[in-house]
Amino acid sequence: MTEILPASDTTIAQAAAFLRAGELVAFGTETVYGLGADATNTKAVARVFEAKGRPHFNPLICHYPSAEAAFADVEAPEIARILAQAFWPGPLTLVLPRRITCNVALLAGAGLDTLAVRVPNHPHARALLAAASRPIAAPSANRSGQVSPTTAAHVLADLDGRIAAILDSGPCTVGVESTVLDLSGATPFLLRPGGVTLEAIEARIGPVQRGIPLAAAQASRTLRSPGLLLSHYAPDLPVRLNATSVEPTEALIAFGPPPPGTQTCFQLSATQDLIEAASRLFEALRAFDHTPSITRIAVMPIPTTGLGLAINDRLARAAAPRG
Ligand code: TXA
Ligand code: MG
């Protein structure tokens, strides 16, 4: 059962305790309700994708109580600091390179080298983030394909029984999602219009690019829109899917008992648990990048039920021919 917690000091502490224990808690922000999980707990992040029923792993926004906390996890150039100063707390999300010391789960960023960070402008959300004292990954708290929820009742309608609690802080005031701005490339790039207008952003930092054609993106390999490109976020090595045996110079990504003769192996889940497998997938794909004797990654078959759909989507991208 999903508990509804009307926001108060006591329930905020309770919600923070749920998050710290790896449970999912929906909470109100000024834009829409978010489906929160401890971003440093890879299994909790996997459960977010399961609860949403997403057929693929979108990178999630990490929420922080302050710009200082956010910029401890990502590298922030001067324009990021200018925008943070002007619009945080508020409905602006900045995509920036992860710091080496960032301990947000790879799955939260869908395996990317960048991370989307935001400081929401809502007193309960900020109190919750401060009490949780860790980054909270939170997509909008709706089932995949449904519209973003702006009340606790919307969240309950979509996610009842799938999450531990909803921190009810009343209706959201902005009602549309945050503006997502990618500052990881040479020029600022608008990924999603939202609560902070483009005009307001350009008034602070000058021209912002948007809508580069796919061909140009592919040519420059500036993989701006996760999910758009088939071979997006591929590992260094070629990938062979549905492997039931392993060749001598292959490393195996296993799901359950590996075939006889397997030498180099990363186990996604010995018990064939899809949540555990999802939580370890991006580590698995990076695990053999620096093993010179390995020339290819073989991946055992993974069922396409539940989170398996998203896992297989991601693996298909990793195995797609490289452009
Ligand atoms: O207002 C909001 O932003 C709400 C509240 C809960 O904060 N959150 C939200 O999250 O709308 P979600 O997951 O529904 O949308 C996140 C967007 C997606 O379009 C995703 O592709 C993009 O942010 N995104 C996240 N991380 C990214 C990254 N590293 N690079 C590029 N885009 C990223
Ligand atoms: Mg959404």
pLDDT at 234: 66
pLDDT at 317: 84
Read off the pLDDT of residues 131-173 as tens digits, 9 standing for 90 and up: 999 999 999 999 988 888 999 999 999 999 999 999 999 999 8
Radius of gyration from C-alpha coordinates of the chain: 20
What average pLDDT is seen over the chain?
Answer: 91
Ligand 1 atom nearest to CA at 109: 29
Residue percentage of the chain with pLDDT more than 70: 93
CATH annotation of 3-219: 3.90.870.10
List C-alpha distances in Å: 285 to 34, 53, 81, 253, 318: 28, 22, 33, 8, 8
Residue found by looking up tokens 């009742």 in the block? 153
Read off the pLDDT of residues 299-309 as tens digits, 9 standing for 90 and up: 999 999 888 98
pLDDT at 279: 87
Pocket test for ligand 1, best of 48, 56, 58 (most atoms within 8 A of CB): 58
Ligand 1, residues at Cβ distance < 6 Å: 29, 31-32, 34, 58-61, 91, 93, 95, 109, 112, 114-116, 118, 120, 138-140, 177-178, 180, 182, 191-192, 226
Long-range contacts from 79-86, C-beta under 8 angstroms, 24+ separation: 79/183, 79/188, 79/205, 80/183, 82/204, 82/205, 83/181, 83/183, 83/201, 83/204, 83/205, 84/119, 86/200, 86/204
d(CA 171, CA 31): 10
Residue found by looking up tokens 């930092």 in the block? 205
Q: How many angstroms is it from 145 CA to the middle of ligand 2?
A: 9
Read off the pLDDT of residues 207-264 as tens digits, 9 standing for 90 and up: 999 875 444 444 444 444 444 444 445 678 999 999 999 999 999 999 999 999 999 9
Residue nearest to atom 7 of ligand 1 (CA): 34
Read off the pLDDT of residues 106-128 as tens digits, 9 standing for 90 and up: 999 999 999 999 999 999 999 99
Q: How many angstroms is it from 301 CA to the middle of ligand 1?
A: 30
Q: Is there a contact between 152 and 166 (Cβ–Cβ < 8 Å)?
A: yes
Read off the pLDDT of residues 81-109 as tens digits, 9 standing for 90 and up: 999 999 999 999 999 999 999 999 999 99
Residue found by looking up tokens 């829109």 in the block? 225
Q: How many angstroms is it from 40 CA to the middle of ligand 2?
A: 20
Q: What are the φ/ψ torsions at residue 57 (nearest 5 degrees)?
A: -90, 100
Q: How large is the greatest C-alpha to C-alpha distance in the chain, in angstroms?
A: 62
Q: How many angstroms is it from 138 CA to the middle of ligand 2?
A: 9
Q: Domain ranges for the chain, please list them.
A: 3-219, 239-319
Would the pTM count as exceeding 0.85? yes
Evaluate if residue 54 carries a pLDDT over 90: no
The one-letter code for the residue type at 195 is: G
pLDDT at 216: 45
CA angle 276, 278, 281 (to 5 degrees): 110
Evaluate if residue 267 carries a pLDDT over 70: yes
pLDDT at 233: 52
Q: Is there a contact between 33 and 141 (Cβ–Cβ < 8 Å)?
A: yes
Read off the pLDDT of residues 20-36 as tens digits, 9 standing for 90 and up: 999 999 999 999 999 99
DSSP tally for the chain: helices H, then strands E: 10, 15
Q: Is there a contact between 149 and 32 (Cβ–Cβ < 8 Å)?
A: yes
Q: How many angstroms is it from 228 CA to the middle of ligand 1?
A: 15
